[in-house]
A = this chain, B = another copy of it.
Amino acid sequence: MDLGMTERVRPLVEAVRSMVEDEIAPLSVEYHEEIGRHPSGNRFALTDRQLEILRDLKGRARERGLWNFWLTDSARGYGLTTVEYAYLAEEMGKVPLAAEVFNCNAPDTGNMEVLERYGVDWMKARWLEPLLEGEIRSAYVMTEPETASSDAAQLAFAARREGDEYVLNGEKIWISGAGDPRCSVYILLACTDPDADKHRRHTMFVLDADTPGIEVLRPMQVFGEDDAPHGHMHLRFTDVRIPAKNVILGEGRGFEVAQGRLGPGRIHHCMRAIGQAEKALQMMCERGIAREAFGKRLAELGANYDIIANARMEIEQARLLCLKAAWVMDTEGTRAAAPWISQIKVVAPLMAGRVIDEAIQMHGGSGISQDFDLAHMWTHVRTLRFADGPDAVHRRQVARAELGKYARTGGRDG
């Protein structure tokens, strides 16, 4: 169980780290300052400067071969293991724009994974290729308003077969990335047979984002922010017609696709969250040394030594657990890794939230202001506690796996 940084990935980590710190970080600030400055007044339109920043940074990354690392165990990418990718993803987590620069950003990686694994040739040519090139972006269209997403039976957005087409009707919400004008393709889950067995009711589709009949009702806010231009959109589909061939894997197999998609995506979020915690600890230490009060360094006041030590101990433990989950994915596959992924999915965001919270406290008012990244990091990791399944659902999975060791019926659904 080698969880260390391999010799192969070490230079990549170094290259990514220095590019993130030295090149992406300052431009990421500028990129975000541009939001809302588009002449149209539309916060979800990209300004020329934003496009230029993206083109420039992505160009540099490709040139240096720092691209598509997430494509593990594949001849198309580096063929990295998930463990190796973890070390890279952690670095990318430290600056908001970084993952996209290396074409390793959510939800595109998950969507590319779906197309790579379950897509047929024409789908790959039409959507996977430009995604792998970083030319377009994508969205994953699953969550519905007023439903508990973790309970599949409640997802009622309808796709009705009519001849060679399906007709889609209903609302979808929290469609992350759908705000971006470059978002061209949707991977969408719809109910094709409400009377079928719970896990056979749904079908996964792929469709162009500009298919007629799709309307943005509003951008959802996350703690008051609209995350423009990425966005988390509330969409309405009215008689949206798509060819029947746009079904992925087969009618009624939507959950099979969804499960295959979720494992890697969840763990990538965790890797980046660990990177954010690491950055927050660094900021905490730097502040603790630089700032003085009552004639002492901040670090030496009150419980600050304990706070720093606890942060270090929490980060190390979460990182190792994340690496172990990655290692189980690499060696035994996503299915076997499921309880491990559930574990880290609960652990990492909670841990990162606590560490960032303490970093904020050490920064006083500045910590929640625009002068530091901490405020955004704090609200962001908070969202991870329900994105891709709330903590309660993952804890339940972990407990069922545990009880299942002792009694065949121990883990029964109840």
Query: A-side interface residues toward B, CB under 8 Å?
Result: 1-5, 143, 148-151, 154, 173-174, 220-225, 281-282, 285-286, 288-289, 291-294, 298-306, 308-310, 312-313, 316-318, 320-321, 324, 343, 346-347, 360-361, 364-365, 367-370, 375-376, 378-379, 382-383, 385-387, 390-392, 394-400, 402-403, 405-407, 410, 413-414
Contact = CB atoms under 8 A, between A and B. Distances in A.
A289 B406 contact: yes
Nearest to A301: B392
A308 B399 contact: yes
Given A289-B403, A406-B285, A398 B368 contact: no
Given A316-B343, A369-B220, A285 B364 contact: no
A152 B383 CA distance: 38
A309 B391 CA distance: 11
Contacts of A398: 308-309, 312-313
B343 A312 contact: yes
Given A306-B395, A317-B318, A320-B320, A402 B312 contact: yes
Contacts of A173: 365
A361 B316 contact: no
Contacts of A346: 309, 313
B375 A224 contact: yes
Contacts of A293: 148, 150-151, 154
A306 B224 contact: no
Nearest to A370: B221
A309 B369 contact: no
Contacts of A324: 316, 320
Contacts of A378: 223
Given A321-B316, A399-B305, A391 B361 contact: yes
Given A221-B375, A302-B303, A318-B317, A403 B365 contact: no
27 contacts: A1-B2, A1-B3, A2-B3, A148-B292, A148-B364, A174-B365, A220-B369, A222-B375, A223-B368, A223-B375, A223-B379, A224-B224, A224-B370, A289-B406, A289-B407, A299-B410, A300-B414, A303-B303, A305-B396, A306-B399, A308-B402, A309-B394, A312-B398, A313-B346, A313-B347, A320-B321, A364-B390
Nearest to A323: B320
Contacts of A379: 223-224, 368, 379
Given A223-B223, A224-B379, 6 more contacts: A3-B320, A148-B298, A173-B365, A220-B365, A302-B392, A317-B347
Nearest to A1: B4
With most chain B CB atoms within 10 A of its CB, the pick from A149, A291, A379 is: A379
Nearest to A343: B313
**Ranked 3 nearest A-B pairs via Cβ:** A1-B4, A303-B303, A320-B320
